Amino acid sequence: MLINGVQTDQVSALDRGIQYGDGLFETIAIMDGHLSLWERHLQRLHHGCDRLGITAPDSAELLAEAKTVIKNHQKGVLKIIVTRGIGGRGYRPPVDMQTNRVVYYSPWPDYPEACWEKGILIRICSTCLGINPTLAQLKHLNRLEQVLARSEWVDSATFEGLMLDSDKRVIEGTMSNLFLIKDDMFITPDLNRCGVAGIMRGLIIELATTLNIPVIIKDVSLDDLKAADAMFISNSLIGMLPVRELLGVSYSLDLLPSILVKTVDDYISGRY
Amino acid sequence: MLINGVQTDQVSALDRGIQYGDGLFETIAIMDGHLSLWERHLQRLHHGCDRLGITAPDSAELLAEAKTVIKNHQKGVLKIIVTRGIGGRGYRPPVDMQTNRVVYYSPWPDYPEACWEKGILIRICSTCLGINPTLAQLKHLNRLEQVLARSEWVDSATFEGLMLDSDKRVIEGTMSNLFLIKDDMFITPDLNRCGVAGIMRGLIIELATTLNIPVIIKDVSLDDLKAADAMFISNSLIGMLPVRELLGVSYSLDLLPSILVKTVDDYISGRY
């Protein structure tokens, strides 16, 4: 682990990351020793810093640190945490903060291969997502909603839980975005009120459009889920993962366009 | 600063406090070398731990650490941060987590005495509070909403900003709770959807009831603010602080019951 380029895993307890969750993070796939979709992750991180008024870390420096951290790893996960820095009594951020950056490697999660072949079982979480347009789409460090939602089940058969906003719209999974397939169109929830704008979600929307698959971004209800022909979740590590079952309803596994699945895989593994 | 009883200010970057804001905090007034309203703060901390499924720190141990930290200080602020601990890949909390506790002293904030004599100017923030009953009332570490709301103004003439929930109900200040006085009754916003259940708010509700001042807990609109005869904010450090002006409307400073103000002061200073 590197913190501001120094090999350590210690941060000050006065860092606003721990005090208030005042920061952002990225979770990046490492495939064949390559940082998957690096430019997109960097761009989202910068955009998040802009939105929160945090001084963005230097891109070249961050890339150098990322490469140092992954240099002995062919496959795994790189996590970057950026916080506003140390200090300020109270919520108001002082001027001239020194952004802190944490860069570290984790092993690849052991998702069973059968998930992709047979699809996954998912559920609906009762913990909701608060509506806040100011924070919507950001991958910020305030993640208690996800922690509590992910605490709602322990059985390993259930891969993911979907979260609704406080007005009962379906938004996303605890660690993934959601796509429905209905009449050969993709539908994915609008994230203007809450939710995380996933890098993989963005890539899928772009690629689908290129492949002439219509993508509709709109509010999604529980009824829309029941009416869908197929469903998949996405994130930077899993790519696209088809849903087999939700709330006792079975979904088709054959409707994910194979050319799209292959192109996404190629992007993740750096062949594009 | 003591972390788990050891004199250090360093925590692991893998602590779930920094990773997800997965924890709670307390801000306690130190008056005449005494921990103000200690039992109430401890009780809220334990309640918060119960709600989040965090193993609560040992009360006696925490008190001993707090006393160690404040032993050379007559006046100031004690902050306690409790996190779920280190570890777990992903949001799901592992079983058998070791709670981490951070206990430290800060100087007393330099609030001008004139605030109490002449009342304060407050404003309305545009950053809203997301509605989430699962997190409502807790003093948890997900405080980006407050950070962004408190970033909305820089003039020192404005003491506090009120935050509305995503449905435009008035909830609280960025760092305080709100009371309206209308027809000799106290009105304070319902915190079942969002907001922090302040220790001082709880004390004021109890004492007011004892003094036969009716207290109504209900949803509060912007119109209710305009219609109020007087208004005050509360927290563990400021006690009760009268509002002089909001949105161009002036409020009476003479309607705060002096017996209540005095009793609250006595509680803060440990004379009760």
Q: Which of residues 181-200 of B touch A (CB under 8 A)?
A: 193-194
Measure the CA–CA gap between B205 and B194, rounded to whole angstroms. 18
* Judgement on whether residues A16 and A123 belong to the same structural domain of the protein: no
Residue B178's identity, in one-letter code, is: L
Same domain, residue pair B87 and B146? no
- Residues ≥6 apart with Cβ < 8 Å to B104: A13, B1, B2, B9, B69, B78, B79
Task: Give the torsion sign (CA, A94, B25, A51, B177).
Answer: negative
Among B73, B106, B139, give the residue marking a domain's end: B106
Q: What pLDDT sits at residue A151?
A: 97
Question: Are B143 and A21 inside 8 Å of each other by CB?
Answer: yes
Is residue B89 pLDDT above 90, yes or no? no
Q: Give the pLDDT of residue B257.
A: 95
Please indicate, yes or no, whether residues B213 and B246 belong to a single structural domain of this protein. yes
In CATH, what number is assigned to the domain containing residue A220? 3.20.10.10
A118 and A84, same domain (yes or no): no
pLDDT digits (tens, 9 = 90+) for A143-200: 999 999 999 999 999 999 999 999 999 999 999 999 999 999 999 999 999 999 999 9
How far are the Cα atoms of A22, A30, B118 from residue B246, in angstroms, in the given order? 28, 53, 14
Which residues of chain A lie closer than 8 angstroms to B104, CB-CB? 13
Q: Are residues A130 and A83 in the same domain?
A: no
Among A39-48, A184-193, B80-89, B164-173, which stretch is predicted with the lowest mean pLDDT?
A: B80-89
- For residue B270, the model assigns a pLDDT of 82
The DSSP code for A43 is H
Mean pLDDT score, A123-143:
98
Q: What part of B 127-156 touches A (C-beta under 8 Å)?
A: 127-135, 140-151
Average pLDDT over residues A57-63: 98
pLDDT bucket at B238, cuts 50 / 70 / 90: very high
Using CB atoms and an 8 Å cut-off, which of residues 203-242 of chain B contact chain A?
Answer: none
Same domain flag for B119 and B101: no
Q: Do residues B259 and B130 share a domain? A: yes
- The answer to whether residues B132 and B98 belong to one domain is no
Distance from CA of B186 to the nearest CA of A (A): 27
Q: Is B58 in the same domain as B156?
A: no
Query: Over the stretch B137-151, which tens digit does the pLDDT of each residue have?
Result: 999 999 999 999 999
pLDDT band at residue B196 using 50, 70 and 90 as cut-offs: very high
CA dist B192 to A40, A165, B69, B216, B217, Å? 39, 16, 34, 14, 10
pLDDT at B14: 97
β partners of residue B102 = B3, B81
Residues B161 and B189 in one domain: yes
* Average pLDDT estimate for B27-38: 96
Residues B98 and B120 placed together within one structural domain of the fold: no
| C-beta contacts of B252-256 below 8 A and 24+ residues apart | B253/B118, B253/B119, B254/B230, B255/B181, B255/B184, B255/B229, B255/B230, B256/B181, B256/B230, B256/B232
What pLDDT, on the 0 to 100 scale, is given for residue A25?
A: 98
The mean pLDDT value for A32-61 works out to 97
A94 touches chain B (CB under 8 A): no
Residues 6+ apart with CB under 8 A from A42: A59, A62, A63
Amino acid at A200: M
**Angstroms from A129 CA to nearest CA on chain B:** 7
User: What pLDDT was estimated at residue B271?
Assistant: 74
A21 pLDDT band, cuts 50/70/90, is very high
CA distance A119 to A170: 20
User: What local confidence, expressed as pLDDT, does residue A228 receive?
Assistant: 98
CATH of the domain at A39: 3.30.470.10
Average pLDDT, stretch A198-206?
A: 98
- Distance (Å, rounded) from C-alpha A53 to C-alpha B246? 27
- Chain-chain contact of A175 with B90 (C-beta, under 8 angstroms): yes
B265 Cα to chain A: minimum distance (Å):
22
DSSP A128-191: PBPP-TTTTB--BS--HHHHHHHTT---TTEEEEEEEBTTS-EEEESSSEEEEEETTEEEEE--
Q: From residue A155, give the alpha-carbon distance in Å to each of A250, B135, B190, B230.
A: 19, 24, 36, 54
Contact between B3 and B118 (Cβ < 8 Å): no
pLDDT at A159: 98
Residue A18 pLDDT > 80: yes
Note the pLDDT of residue A243.
Answer: 98
A271: confidence class by pLDDT, cuts 50, 70, 90: confident
What mean pLDDT do residues A231-260 have? 97
Instruction: Identify the domain containing residue B60 by its residue range.
Output: 2-106
Strands B23-31 and B34-35: antiparallel
Q: What's the domain count of chain B?
A: 2
Distance separating alpha carbons of residues B235 and B217, to the nearest angstrom: 17
Chosen domain end from A41, A76, A106: A106
Hey, of A4, A6, A18, which one would you mutate to test binding to chain B, going by the most B CBs within 10 A of its CB? Answer: A18
Looking at every residue in chain A, the average pLDDT score rounds to 97
Q: Which of B63, B84, B106 is the last residue of a domain?
A: B106
CB proximity B168 to A under 8 Å: no
B236 and B143: one domain?
yes
Number of neighbours of residue B98 by Cβ within 10 angstroms: 11
Structural tokens at position A117: 């072949």
With pLDDT > 90 as the criterion, what percentage of chain B qualifies? 96
